[in-house]
Amino acid sequence: MNAPESAADSLRAALAGLLDGLPSRQAAQAVERLITVYRGRTPTDAPVLRDRADVAAYAAYRMPATFAAVSAALAAFADAVPGWAPRTHVDVGGGTGAATWAVSATWDGTRPVTVLDWAEPALALGRELAAARPELRDARWQRARIGSGLGIDAADLVTVSYVLGELTESARAGLLDAATAAQTVVVVEPGTPDGYTRVLAARAQLIAAGFRIAAPCPHSAGCPIVPGSDWCHFAARVSRSSLHRQVKGGSLPYEDEKFSYVAATRLPAAPAPARVVRKPQIRKGQVLLDLCEADEQLRRTTVTKRHGDLYKAARDAAWGDAWPPYDGE
């Protein structure tokens, strides 16, 4: 597998100077509108990224976070299917290509890649940025209406990241129906209650189509979370750009991107025996782990020093990790 960290550095370098010539106020306004759309409740039948200003603001502000979230989801999936790598990849609603970068960072080699999006300015900028990554220089950037009626060629991997919230419920179902032509489908949404609800619906549709869940769930049965009581989400740490600090007014050099996801496959897969679903609580001589387990239950497990190497692993465990760790982790 490749190193997402080095790809993240390459992406940041490719994004450097992207906002040159764009007034900071215009960039900030574009970002605020995009945040409202991506974390809001209003679906749309028009492209969210409307022009170069929108696309530049999105790429500089959101691309590193989307890359980090999708990379984390793909890493969890790769752990469940060791030795496998996609030979073909379709990125649905891929915009400027963050998920495409994440796939190339997760698995070695090159592969035919098609990025589908309905915003031509996003595709144009994605093509421009991809020139900085040799694995993506031959990718196809294709304009398409995302939603019902979308045609997706058979592929090893289809990614659908941060796009379902832009669509009506029927359009989401139509998109996912088209995605079932793939061997593996990875869906990533914002880590909000609404984002989780969309992921949960996608999960159910993919299972009904014959897919098995490889991550994050340790099973393909119903989610044990009582509807309305909580939601399943994780976090990926992202270095803050100057635009992040300008828009949010934060002083920290990083932020945590909250995301929900599901990775479903027709391949033989070995899901994690359990998944850490909250930030581990480290106390004197013990670690408290909140786990989603293979018997369809949520449980808190206490790991103490008397557990030896398992205790050391628990102290290193992170929110979203498999438990116990996969061999080699």
Every domain of the chain and the residues it spans: 4-265, 274-323
CB 280 within 8 A of CB 287: yes
The topology (CATH level 3) of 4-265 is Rossmann fold (3.40.50)
> Can you tell me the distance from the alpha carbon of 12 to that of 64, in angstroms, rounded to the nearest whole number?
7
| 8-state DSSP, 280 | -
Burial 46-59 (b: 16+ CB within 10 A, else e): ebbbeeebbbbbbb
What does the block give as tokens for 291?
A: 């786990």
User: d(Cα 231, Cα 243) in Å, to the nearest integer?
Assistant: 29
The partner residues of 92 in beta bridges, in order of sequence, read 116, 160
pTM: 0.89
* CA geometry: angle 260, 277, 206, nearest 5 deg: 45
Give residue 327's pLDDT.
Answer: 67
**Cβ atoms of residues 164 and 198 within 8 Å:** yes
Q: Are strands 322-323 and 274-276 parallel, antiparallel or unpaired?
A: antiparallel
Amino acid at 122: A
Furthest C-alpha separation in the chain:
60
Q: How far apart are CA 143 and CA 194, in angstroms?
A: 27
Give yes or no for a contact between 105 and 77, defined as CB atoms under 8 angstroms apart: no
Token pair for residue 39? 């974390």
Tell me how crowded residue 284 is: count the other CB atoms within 10 A of its CB. 5
Q: pLDDT tens, position by position, for the chain (329 residues)?
A: 566 668 888 888 787 766 666 666 777 777 777 667 655 555 555 556 666 777 777 788 788 999 999 999 999 999 999 999 999 999 999 989 999 999 999 999 999 999 999 888 889 999 989 988 899 989 999 999 998 888 898 899 999 999 999 899 999 999 999 999 999 999 999 999 999 999 999 999 999 999 999 999 999 999 999 988 999 999 999 887 666 666 555 666 778 999 999 999 999 999 999 999 999 999 999 999 999 999 999 999 999 999 999 999 999 999 999 999 876 54
Burial of residue 285 (number of CB atoms within 10 Å: 0-12, 13-18, 19+)? exposed
What is the phi/psi pair of residue 175, to 5°?
Answer: -60, -50
